Amino acid sequence: MRAKYTLLAATALFVISAPLLSSAENIELTPYAGFRWSSQLTGTSTQDDEGNTIENIDFESGAIFGLWFDYRIQNRLMLELTAEGFPSKIQGTNTDTREKTDAFDVVLYYFQLGLHYEIIEYGVAAEDVKIRPFVYGGVGSTVFDAAGDRSTNTKFNIAFALGFKFMFNERLGLRTQGRYFWTYMNASNDYWCTGDGAGGEKCTIFPTSESLSQIDLTLGLLITL
């Protein structure tokens, strides 16, 4: 559960720091929600809580929740911090029944630092620009916080997004985007173990290096400070 407290601390830091950094319209704070889909991790295997072997695992699609914190460093360019949670389940094919089944619960936390570029120049008749398209790219870490006494794993990620902001006025608007996440999963036999490391009673095994690909659609309430 360490990742859960880290997410709360990061969110609190974003909110507290906003007034300290803020000059006119330099800060954007956007709480958001969305839906995420994940790719299958071919060749992987794990064990559920009953000891059944589950292969070719993936993450159950579902809702995501997070916060974007943006600081404008140039007219069109913003520095962006992301803190996000994705409650999910590890699922795959039961090797005995050949049926798709759930193995155990897991929450994925995402932390990123990136750049957010508005295609329409900010500050030029801004009151007339209601729709502001943008692109985003960032790097960070994905924290896999498995349920029960299973171990937690942290891996490198990158993301790219394309979206737009719809402004109701100078201070309030909506932000929506489509995003691609890529997380590197190196070959290992000590993912989400019960017990100590690779010698644990139950572990998830990656026989070869894999990449976890995920896409999502999100919508948030944009507040300019």
Identify the helix (H) or strand (E) that includes residue 19: helix 2-21
Compute the radius of gyration of the chain from its Cα atoms: 20
Statement: residue 18 has pLDDT above 60: no
* pLDDT value of residue 122: 59
* pLDDT value of residue 24: 47
Question: Any long-range contacts for 173-176 (C-beta under 8 Å, 24+ apart)?
Answer: 173/222, 173/224, 174/219, 174/220, 174/221, 174/222, 175/30, 175/32, 175/68, 175/219, 175/220, 175/221, 175/222, 176/217, 176/218, 176/219, 176/220
Q: Is the separation of the CB atoms in 38 and 56 below 8 Å? A: no
**How many angstroms separate the Cα of 89 from the Cα of each of 14, 102, 182?**
29, 7, 18
* pLDDT value of residue 43: 85
Domains belonging to the chain, first-starting first, are 2-224 (2.40.160.20)
In whole angstroms, what is the distance from residue 186 CA to residue 210 CA? 6
Q: What is the pTM of this model?
A: 0.85
Statement: residue 157 has pLDDT above 60: yes
Average pLDDT of the chain to the nearest whole number = 85
Determine the 3-state secondary structure of 20 from DSSP: helix
